Structure 1
Amino acid sequence: MRLDFNACPRSHLDRDRVTYNHRKEVNGDDGRPTFLEAYFAGCQVLVTEDDFYELAMEYLAHCAEMNVRYCEPFFDTQAHTQRGIPAPTVLNGFLRAQQEGTKKYGVKSKWVFCFLRDRPLSEGLDAYEAARPWADLPDGSGLALFHAVGLAANEFERPPMLFEEAFRRAKKDGLHVTMHCDVDQKDAADHVHEAIFQVCDGRGTERIDHGLNVLDRPELIPGLKERDIGLTLCPHAYHRRQATEVLFPKIKTLIDKGVKLCINSDDPTYMHDVWIDGNMQKVYTYCDLEKKDIVQLARNAVDMCWADEDIKSELMNELNELRS
């Protein structure tokens, strides 16, 4: 199952006090920090290789507590290199945690390297080249920390096609491609359209992170289904901004239309400490699902992930037993 990676130690903040100005560029500046401003401020405490290692180990330990067997954490190096932290410090800390997390907690992981979309493409390409020795390359020459690339950070007026060169370079290296298409961002449906039909000539995107705005245009859901593109939804992230009676009928509509989707967490320490178990519970409750539906969502997660086939087969066998 895919879980988003958070870049700040886990905390238990009062729900009523955790509020952000979701999009300053859209909503105006009301004095509150945006989510991304809070997120990147939290990154300042990450300095040494041990910092990145300990952060990742805490994350994997919490995964184990929730009975997560496999995850695909998102990370980037640009937020740290621009602070003067060498990329190998980040990458080696995470690699050590990836390896030890499997041994200590039984949680296997392959990671997703992100380009920061509010930074220049050239900077992202340089970051990718610096990180490439840590990739899971087909010829076995890489260190196999990450096996996919994606997009992160502020997507305001930064559509996916701005990063076409980066996606093509990663695909040439045999890596998978996903990208955030945030919910109700400016031009959200246009971003989803680009992700489905244009990235790498319509053959690049394998998953879309979020992407709830596929409901906004009639050609988007057929495009997803024809290309077998799945959505990784994070319900609590949207529930902070959308009413229950608005949000969950949308998710139920996608399920009923046969869109392949799975449920995930999105930076949980910044979002009321709601992890994947809380997100699954919300969908189960507010979409009025049955237990078999939750099992199917978990099966979707296994199907959509990029784990090795032996891992996917093992997880599917467990889920088949639950279904019976």
Structure 2
Amino acid sequence: MATSAATQDLSGFIAGLPKAELHLHIEGTLEPELIFALAKRNGIALPYPSEQALREAYAFTDLQSFLDLYYAGAGVLITEQDFYDMTAAYLQRAHADGVCHAEIMFDPQTHTARGVAIETVFAGIARALRDARNDTGITGYLLMSFLRHLSEQDAFDTLQAALPLRAQYEDLWLGIGLDSAERGNPPEKFARVYQRCRELGFRLVAHAGEEGPPAYVRDALDLLHAERIDHGVRAEEDPVLMQRLIAEQTPLTVCPLSNLKLRVVDDLGQHNLARLLRSGAMVTVNSDDPAYFGGYVGQNYLESALALDLSRAELAAIAGNSITASFLPDAEKDKLHGQLASYLANAA
């Protein structure tokens, strides 16, 4: 068992690793303190007497039990400033964890269904990203994500509402994602809207193989033409699919603490992250919804390293994968890979 001093040393090493975070739902970064502050600012009554009582409600049995609380928490987001404050708080934490670049998923349908204009959602998140870029150098992209428990027509309507904003946010909004409940919502349900997004030149990612079967991973690749698979841990159940993912170096944006919290695994020591990495898959480590799952990206690296006996070289490889798997231009990737190599040389 690692000593506290050794753990602290490892934590410092991880924080220094230049890395990208590729699987992060911005609404999932709402800490109880900010939820209560925004509720007070907007005159919203919460069904919890205190921040601690809300935090104690984060005992999830599966993905759906989390989603129910997640959508309720997002209800405090009303104004552009609310979205700004939420995003700025995440970027500050990410920067402290050594994140140089973040590709942030956001769910407009969660907000437009409550009467919040899609323009408000974009404006607050984008302003925080631009401010952080200017203040700290951290870069970011936006991945507008469709809620898969809603209809494909609803996704089309959301896309149509967002497209007039594209020019205004062309430095940030470059991709499309698919999230929410997998069960009963296969990739094929969104094949046409993904085809349209592909025609429009968007980069494409999709959640698959978290609670859904390996077939959902394959269909996300073949029917949606996803360039990255968010989660993807159940792909291991299909050896042929795994060989394909390894051969094609399809990035998997793995979220270990999320998988633990949502009972995808019962113990972090059972997680297949290390096995996937050592088999040659392009795995990355991310925090998913860190306010709800007990840790931002640095904590995901640290707890995975301790539970799975990941070496510093393997942690560095995961950080390198995150840069390679990002949607940054090649010149920016090369720059970050150079920073990583320099850090490792000095840390040796």
Match of 2:260 among 231, 239, 249: 239
Matches within 5 A, 1:120-199: 120-135=151-166, 143-183=170-210, 185=211, 187-196=212-221, 198-199=222-223
Instruction: Name whichever of 36-45 and 4-13 sits farther off.
Output: 4-13
Query: Where does residue 319 of structure 1 map in the other structure?
Result: 340
- Residue from 1, 24, 48 that aligns with 2:79: 48
CA contact (8 A) 1:265 1:275 kept: yes
Q: Which amino acid aligns with 1:261?
A: V
Q: Which runs of 5+ in 1 are unaligned?
A: 25-33
Verify the 8 A CA contact 2:204 2:227 in the aligned structure 1.
yes
1:9 aligns with 2:30: yes
Distance in structure 1 (CA, Å) of the matches to 2:57 and 2:257:
16
Shift of 1:148: 1.0
- How far the C-alpha of 1:17 sits from its partner, in A, is 5.5
Stretch deviating more after TM superposition (282-291 or 258-267): 282-291
Offset of 1:225 from its aligned partner? 2.5
Aligned position for 2:5: none
Which of 274, 292, 307 is matched with 2:313 structurally? 292
| 1:238-257 mapped onto 2 (5 Å cutoff) | 238-240=259-261, 241=263, 242-244=265-267, 247-248=270-271, 250-257=272-279
Report the 3-state secondary structure (helix = DSSP H, G, I; strand = E; otherwise coil) of the residue aligned with 1:258: coil
Corresponding letter in the other structure for 2:156: L
| Displacement after TM superposition at 1:295 (Å) | 0.7
- What residue is the counterpart of 2:11 in the other structure? none
Please list the CA deviations of residues 135-178 of structure 1 after superposition, one character each: whole Å capped at 9, or x if unmatched.
4xxxx775333211111111211011111112111111111111
CA separation of 1:245 and 1:297: change in aligned 2, threshold 3 A: closer
Mapped to 2, the partners of 1:199 and 1:121 lie a distance apart of 14
What letter is aligned with 2:204? V
Cα distance in 2 for partners of 1:134, 1:310 equals 27
Work out whether residues 60 and 105 of structure 1, in 8 Å CA contact, stay in contact via their aligned partners in 2: no
Cα distance in 2 for residues equivalent to 1:20 and 1:243: 12
Q: Deviations over 1:69-111 (max 9, x none)?
A: 1100110211111101111011111121121111123211011
- The DSSP-based 3-state class of the residue aligned with 1:180 is strand
> Which residue does the alignment assign to 1:30?
none
Query: Could you give the per-residue CA deviations for residues 235-290 of structure 1, whole angstroms, max 9, x where no partner exists?
Result: 01112322337623x22221121011100001010112x01011101221122121
Whole-angstrom distance in 1 between the partners of 2:219 and 2:245: 12
Q: Which moved more, 1:80-89 or 1:284-293?
A: 284-293
Identify if the C-alpha distance between structure 1 residues 16 and 67 changes in structure 2 by more than 3 Å, giving closer, same or farther: same
User: Given the alignment of the two structures, is residue 72 of structure 1 paired with residue 99 of structure 2, yes or no?
Assistant: no
1:168 and 1:152 map into 2 onto residues whose CA distance is 17
Contact residue 238 and residue 247 of structure 1 kept, 8 A: no
Using the alignment, how far apart are the partners of 1:253 and 1:124 within structure 2?
36
Q: 1:180–1:209: 8 Å Cα contact kept in structure 2?
A: yes
Between the aligned partners of 1:302 and 1:236, the Cα distance in structure 2 is 21
Return the TM-score normalized by structure 1: 0.87
The alpha-carbon deviation at position 19 of structure 1 amounts to: 0.2
Question: Contact (CA 8 Å) 2:214, 2:237: kept in 1 or not?
Answer: yes
Distance 1:126 1:301 in 2: 32
Alignment partner of 1:221 is 2:250? no
SS in 1 for 2:145: strand
Contact 1:215–1:221 (CA<8 Å) still a contact in 2? yes
Residue by residue over 1:208-249, the C-alpha shift from the partner in whole angstroms, topping out at 9 and shown as x without a partner, is 00010111112111221333311000001112322337623x
1:212 maps to which residue? 233
Identity percentage of aligned residues: 26
Superposed CA RMSD: 2.0
Distance, in Å, in 1 between the alignment partners of 2:93 and 2:165 is 24
CA change 1:134–1:225 in 2 (3 A) is farther
C-alpha spacing 1:129/1:71, structure 2 compared with 1 (3 Å): same
Q: In the alignment, is residue 268 of structure 1 matched against residue 290 of structure 2?
A: yes
Higher relative contact order (CA 8 A, sep 6+): 2
Gaps of 5+ in 2: 1-19, 34-51
